[in-house]
């Protein structure tokens, strides 16, 4: 029996992000099973039949976006409660207190809502950096939604100010190993599992080396939060006489299967180490700017890309950046450095799209599967409806996508050849019912933990 086929027909523009960076005007895509079988001019594919045809007239079609740092399991339940002026470390302490109080049922519903938001706005693949406690319970959400994802178990074995649970080193290593062996390559390959020590500052050298060894052994990846905050840089300088990423390099942790998150403040020696080791990175402009991390002055995204370092994009959690939309990070990456450098000749719109597609896929070791629309690749596709005022007038679809559009114009989303969002609505859940459920459980979570912040303006 042949694989079911899907045809996306008569698209106004297809932004392929293929090796030639072709933009196909009046194009069509044929999908057979999970993969792209044909792509080209609509006229050339006119007589190609399919089991289902999507009319993509007046649509711009792109690869699905990768959100490579997104704590998905807890933030939606208490989204928007934290005041702007809360110290970041105090904020994180509250975050992990709330997370620790969540039940498996809580995590299932908040995860499903997070995935719904991601998919509705064009993110087909996301990376949860170890914050989900109840992976078995959340498997239902992963499977039902059809998303592509990377998961793991975040661990530390040193006391820390974030209220993260501290494991014995052997137990932390066992948890990472069990998670990789249990969840890697599940859901017909849509799911990957990595090793995830939370932050090198709160982990022993033994734990870090074991995480890298497990990743190498299982041919998977490893991630670390690596914000390089001023206090962190000072700690490493005072303790070891070197910068944080230099220290990781000396430990043998850097390499092609390591993804460092945030990397706000890196100096030339750290950039050298990243480039020489082919270590991957992810920046979260939405969170960095909101949290006052000085991304515009301290982060070196253009310089890192110029050195051939893989920089991808994320949004971090929905209760620090307060949003999950990868398109927002694309926009910010494209504009922040123009302002910071005082020139428009950095991070063009084309690069911003690459950061969220090809770079995102490469950072996850999935560049042979996703990140561009090419024959043989997995069919992760987003169709934007341009019959909206923010898309008009339409001449250059790359500029319009990065600078004009947002996720509200997403019409159809396909992951692994399956339609998961249609006419702007998720195909796998009653969205309003789910939102009501998460509102209720969030209220209960705040009551159980006693965490509460009054708005600055009175609610009467």
Q: Could you write out the DSSP letters of every residue in 403-426?
A: II--GGGEEEEEETTEEEEETTEE
- Taking the model in full, what pTM does it have? 0.96
Q: Are 396 and 67 in contact (CB under 8 A)?
A: no
Residue 1: pLDDT band (50, 70, 90) is low
Average pLDDT value for residue range 27-55: 98
Lowest mean pLDDT among 122-126, 243-247, 316-320: 316-320
Cβ neighbourhood burial of 454 (10 Å; 0-12, 13-18, 19+):
exposed
Tokens read off for 93: 């302490």
The whole-chain average pLDDT of the chain stands at: 95
Average pLDDT value for residue range 179-197: 98
For residue range 136-167, what is the model confidence (pLDDT) as tens digits? 999 999 999 999 999 999 999 999 988 889 99
Chain centroid, CA 355 distance in Å = 11
Side-chain-side CA neighbours of 17 within 13 Å: the count stands at 29
For residue range 378-426, what is the model confidence (pLDDT) as tens digits? 999 999 999 999 999 999 999 999 999 999 999 999 999 999 999 999 9
Percent of the chain with pLDDT over 90: 85
Nearest CA to 25 out of 8, 40, 45 is that of 40
CA–CA distance from 68 to each of 254, 319, 348, 362, 375 (Å)?
18, 17, 20, 11, 24
Pairing state between β 148-155 and 191-197: parallel
- In order of their start, the domains of the chain are 5-63+372-426 (2.30.40.10), 65-363 (3.20.20.140)
- pLDDT computed for residue 88 by the predictor: 79
Rounded to 5°, the CA angle 37-38-41 comes to: 165
Nearest CA to 295 out of 322, 323, 335 is that of 335
Chain centroid, CA 274 distance in Å = 20
**Residue 374 pLDDT more than 90?**
yes
Question: For the residues of 339-400, what is the DSSP string, one character each?
Answer: HHHT-SSSS-HHHHHHHHTHHHHHHTT-TTTSSS--TTSB--EEEEE--SGGG-S-S-HHHI
Rounded to 5°, the CA angle 219-184-315 comes to: 95
- pLDDT computed for residue 97 by the predictor: 87
- pLDDT computed for residue 73 by the predictor: 81
- pLDDT computed for residue 75 by the predictor: 79
For residue range 213-240, what is the model confidence (pLDDT) as tens digits? 999 999 999 999 998 888 889 999 999 9
Rounded to 5°, the CA angle 154-156-159 comes to: 140
Average pLDDT value for residue range 433-441: 96
- pLDDT computed for residue 370 by the predictor: 98
Q: How far is it between the farthest Cα atoms of the chain? A: 69
Q: Are 240 and 201 in contact (CB under 8 A)?
A: no
Length of the chain: 460
For residue range 268-319, what is the model confidence (pLDDT) as tens digits? 999 999 999 999 999 999 989 988 888 888 889 999 999 999 999 999 987 7
- pLDDT computed for residue 292 by the predictor: 85
Pairing state between β 5-15 and 52-55: parallel
Rounded CA-CA distance 263/450 in Å is 33
End-to-end CA distance of the chain: 63
Percent of the chain with pLDDT over 70: 100
Number of H helices, E strands in the chain: 16, 17
CA–CA distance from 53 to each of 3, 5, 29, 121, 414 (Å)?
15, 9, 10, 22, 13
The residues with which 226 forms a beta bridge, in sequence order, are: 262
Nearest CA to 13 out of 46, 65, 60 is that of 60
Lowest mean pLDDT among 89-93, 128-132, 231-235, 309-313: 89-93
Average pLDDT value for residue range 57-77: 93
């Amino acid at each position: 029996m042949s694989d079911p086929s899907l045809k996306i027909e008569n698209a106004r523009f297809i932004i392929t992000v293929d090796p030639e960076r072709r933009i196909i005007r009046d194009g069509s895509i044929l999908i057979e099973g999970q993969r792209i079988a044909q792509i080209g001019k609509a006229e050339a594919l006119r007589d190609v039949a399919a089991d289902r045809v999507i009319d993509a007239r007046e649509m711009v079609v792109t690869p699905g976006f990768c959100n490579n740092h997104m704590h998905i399991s807890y933030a939606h339940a208490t989204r928007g409660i934290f005041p702007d002026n809360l110290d970041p470390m105090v904020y994180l302490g509250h975050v992990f207190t709330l997370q620790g109080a969540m039940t498996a049922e809580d995590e299932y519903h908040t995860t499903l809502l997070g995935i719904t938001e991601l998919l509705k706005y064009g993110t087909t693949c996301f990376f949860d950096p170890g914050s989900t406690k109840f992976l078995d319970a959340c498997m239902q959400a992963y499977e039902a939604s059809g998303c592509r994802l990377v998961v793991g178990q975040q661990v530390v074995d040193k006391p820390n100010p974030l209220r993260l649970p501290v494991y014995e080193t052997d137990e932390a290593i066992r948890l990472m190993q069990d998670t990789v062996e249990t969840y890697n390559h599940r859901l017909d390959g849509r799911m990957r599992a990595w090793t995830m020590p939370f932050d090198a500052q709160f982990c022993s050298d033994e734990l870090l080396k074991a995480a890298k060894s497990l990743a190498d052994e299982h041919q998977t990846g490893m991630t670390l939060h690596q914000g390089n905050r001023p206090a962190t840089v000072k700690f490493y300088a005072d303790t070891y006489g070197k910068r944080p990423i230099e220290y990781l390099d000396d430990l043998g942790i850097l390499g092609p299967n390591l993804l460092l998150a945030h990397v706000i403040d890196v100096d030339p020696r750290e950039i050298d180490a990243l480039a020489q080791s082919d270590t991957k990175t992810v920046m979260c402009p939405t969170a960095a700017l909101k949290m006052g991390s000085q991304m515009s002055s301290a982060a070196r995204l253009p310089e890192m890309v110029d050195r051939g370092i893989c920089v991808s994009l994320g949004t971090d959690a929905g209760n620090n950046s307060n949003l999950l939309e990868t398109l927002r990070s694309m926009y910010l990456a494209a504009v922040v450095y123009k302002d910071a450098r005082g020139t428009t000749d950095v991070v063009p719109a084309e690069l911003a799209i690459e950061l969220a597609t090809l770079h995102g896929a490469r950072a996850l070791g999935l560049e042979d599967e996703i990140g561009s629309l090419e024959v043989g690749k997995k069919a992760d596709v987003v169709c934007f409806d341009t019959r909206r005022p923010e898309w008009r007038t339409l001449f250059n679809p790359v500029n319009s996508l990065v600078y004009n559009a947002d996720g509200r114009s997403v019409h159809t989303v396909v992951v692994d050849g399956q339609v998961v969002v249609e006419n702007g609505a998720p195909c796998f859940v009653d969205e309003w019912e789910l939102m009501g459920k998460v509102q209720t459980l969030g209220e209960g979570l705040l009551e159980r933990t006693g965490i509460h912040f009054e708005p600055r303006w009175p609610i009467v």
